[in-house]
Amino acid sequence: MHARAIDDAQVRLLDLRQDEVQDTTLAGVALSASLVSTVVCPPLVLPLFVGGLAMGVLGVRAIWRRWDLVDRLADDRDAYSIPQVREYAARDACMKRRRQYAALTRSWAESPDTALAGLRDQLDALARELEDATLALDPSAALACRRLLTDPTVSPLFDDVDDVDELRSRIARIRAGFRPAAGRS
């Protein structure tokens, strides 16, 4: 991703955030006004209510589009210069999520799938590293770990594991994202 594309993505994220706030606020105002109009001016209840619902739908649409854009950008390492993308990926690097991923990794390691038998050592090592609080995990590696363990659209674990080398390579890239935690030698 080049600098212009990153700038464009950041502007788009800000626009979507602004749309979220405006649309959901307007929806709340319109729905509140429809409630007040039941007493003040009953003929306005239905138009205000429908308008509030429509604005609410547009607000939810803006929320979804912003989340989707951040999720797609998180796959590009260059996009981590955008604070929203960095924060999104950093959630996967916290110890709580890492412990969940370690449990998932162990369940994959214990799978009866014969193709995974040759990867049990790597999966076990990944699980141990995920649980090790003395190691920090790079947010992009944490996101790659989540996608490997939970996303059937991109993870070879959910298909019949035909390409063991690809799986081994993904595990190695995730494990390369570990560093000694700050304040530790």
Does any domain span residue 88?
no
Average pLDDT of the chain?
89
pTM: 0.75
pLDDT at 65: 96
Residues 70 and 103 in one domain: no
The per-residue pLDDT for range 131-156, each reduced to its tens digit, is 999 999 999 899 999 998 988 888 87
Give the closest residue to 142 by CA, choosing from 96, 182, 108, 185: 96
At residue 15, does pLDDT exceed 90?
A: yes
> Is 139 buried (19+), middle (13-18) or exposed (0-12) by CB count in 10 A?
buried
Judge whether residue 184 has pLDDT over 60.
Answer: no
Residue 67: CA count within 13 A, CB half-sphere: 7
The verdict on 129 and 175 lying in the same domain is yes
Q: What are phi and psi of 49, to 5 degrees?
A: -65, -45
Q: Specify whether 69 is located in the same domain as 99.
A: no
The pLDDT value given to residue 109: 83
The verdict on 67 and 103 lying in the same domain is no
The answer on pLDDT for 68 being more than 60 is yes
DSSP 22: H
Q: Say if residue 183's pLDDT is above 90.
A: no
112 in any annotated domain: yes
Strand, coil or helix: what is 180?
strand
pLDDT at 117: 73
Contact 102, 29 (CB under 8 A): no
132 phi, psi to nearest 5 deg: -80, 110
Last residue of a domain, one of 12, 47, 82: 82
| Domain stops at, among 54, 82, 110 | 82
Per-residue pLDDT of 26-38, as tens digits, reads 999 999 999 999 9
Question: Would residue 23 count as lying in a domain?
Answer: yes
Q: What DSSP letter does each residue of 43-107 carry, written as one string? A: GGHHHHHHHHHHHHHHHHHHHHHHHHHHHHHTTSGGGGGSHHHHHHHHGGGSHHHHHHHHHHHHH
Which pLDDT does position 165 carry in this prediction? 81
Do 141 and 101 have their domain in common? Answer: yes
Higher pLDDT, 99 or 3: 99
Q: Which residue range forms the structural domain that includes residue 29?
A: 3-82
**According to the model, what pLDDT value does residue 161 have?**
63
pLDDT digits (tens, 9 = 90+) for 91-105: 988 999 999 999 999
Q: Given this model, what pLDDT does residue 14 score?
A: 93
User: What is the rounded CA–CA span in Å between residue 37 and residue 169?
Assistant: 62
How does pLDDT run across 157-177, given as a tens digit for each residue? 777 666 778 888 889 999 999
pLDDT at 1 (0 to 100): 67
In what helix (H) or strand (E) does residue 36 lie, and over which residues does it extend?
Answer: helix 3-40
Q: Is residue 60 part of a domain?
A: yes
pLDDT > 60? residue 185: no
Of 82, 110, 137, which closes a domain?
82
Q: Give yes or no: residues 62 and 139 share one domain.
A: no
Number of domains in the chain: 2
